[in-house]
A and B are shown apart, each in its own frame.
Chain A
Amino acid sequence: MIDSITWGLNSVAKYIIPLLLVGIPLYALSVKKVKVYEVFVVGAKDGFTIAVRIIPYLVAILVAVGMFRASGALDLLLQALAPVLTFVGFPPENLPLALMRPLSGSGSLGLLTDLVNEHGADSMYAKIGATMFGSSETTFYVIAVYFGSVGVMRSRHAIPAGLFADFVGAISAVFFCKLLLV
């Protein structure tokens, strides 16, 4: 049953974008007589300015994250935390991914690939990892890009709230995988 739901959703997914690209102009043109081509071009103009505006914010955050990753600080943190985690039932194998997820999309995808290659897609580690990956976002990247695009520098409680959500997401991923899967 779940097999067919997953399959169904993922096979419908490939039609969503084409449908939006055609459906929205169709509605605008036929129901509201909007000059779709001209309006499209006006809207599209902003693409350049917004993309360029986020560059300084992206450089700031990605450089810091990249340096942090390259230094091996994550491994140190891991060694320190491993005994505690094993004690509470959180598999230490999944910790690097949980820590990397909010920092870097490509980094966490790399770690998930490692888990799959090392333990197999059928292993609990890979399943927990994939659940973690699919259930959260690259928090730091999103915050940098979204706030950067409008020039907001003081993010207030955005980071604590985002990291708390990531923390809850990681714990829930372990919990639900252990509860529902074998």
Chain B
Amino acid sequence: MMNYIWFGMMVIAVVVGTVTGRIEAVTQAAIDMAKVSVEIAIGLIGIMALWLGIMKIAEESGLISLIARAVKPVMIRLFPDVPPEHPAMGSIVLNMSANMLGLGNAATPLGLKAMEELQELNPEKGTATNSMVMFLAINTSSVQFILPATVVALMGGVSSQIFIPTILATTCSTVAAIAAVKFLEKRKHFAAPESVQEAGDD
């Protein structure tokens, strides 16, 4: 899937860029974005270090497993492949909470920690597990109770009007995400390699 999307975007860009005479802008964008990618990653180092450090304290003190135990009934249904007491459950919950509270800076390190713990349970390291896809789908459809600061800054006094529509829309998209994952993970085309003999398409 990723192979086709990635290649498709670049081919379309080059073809359309040639037709519309924007080919130089396309080239420039490629070079600029390569640079921006590294800047983003480097910029993440400090925030990652901060939150991973705090997370480690939370883990050592038993806070994470405490949280994981509290939300166990929901989590075992969403992530049936993850043992209920596994630290991944705690990290997933913390990432979701950070997202709900609009703490984007904290959410990413917590989410990457969760991915690392999910990867420990992955029998086929290069391929996503059902739990990973479920986690990402919930994450990208982001239930959020605090409007992003950028939106508040832009919308000013109107911000409060869009509070309820935003929560309703994000709830719909999260439900859609969970339903789509549950539906698609059983399709043969997306099957995990261990359940199908031939290596599945990505």
Contact = CB atoms under 8 A, between A and B. Distances in A.
B10 A68 contact: yes
B136 A156 contact: no
Given A73-B12, A137-B139, A24 B26 contact: no
B161 A181 contact: yes
A88 interface: no
Interface in A55-77: 55, 58-73, 76
Contacts of B197: none
Interface in A120-134: 121-122, 126-127, 130-134
Contacts of A151: 119, 125-126
Given A59-B34, A165-B141, 15 more contacts: A17-B103, A47-B53, A51-B42, A55-B37, A63-B33, A67-B10, A67-B14, A71-B20, A76-B16, A134-B170, A137-B140, A142-B139, A156-B128, A161-B181, A165-B177
B40 A58 contact: yes
A155 B32 CA distance: 26
B181 A169 contact: no
Give the interface centre of B22, B25, B54, B181 by most chain A CB atoms within 10 Å: B54
Chain A facing B: main interface SS: helix
Contacts of B87: none
Given A70-B25, A135-B144, A153 B133 contact: no
Q: How large is the interface on B (under 10, 10 to 19, 20 to 34, 35 or more residues)?
A: 35 or more
A78 interface: no
B55 interface: yes
A28 interface: yes
Interface in A5-45: 5-7, 9-10, 13, 16-17, 20-21, 24-25, 27-28, 31-32, 34, 36, 39-45
Q: How large is the interface on A (under 10, 10 to 19, 20 to 34, 35 or more residues)?
A: 35 or more
Contacts of A100: none
A39 B128 contact: no
Contact of A27 (B63, B116, B190): B63
A143 B109 CA distance: 14
Given A5-B163, A9-B146, A154 B141 contact: no
A50 B17 CA distance: 35
B155 A43 contact: no
Contact of A6 (B48, B52, B163, B169): B163
A39 B59 CA distance: 10
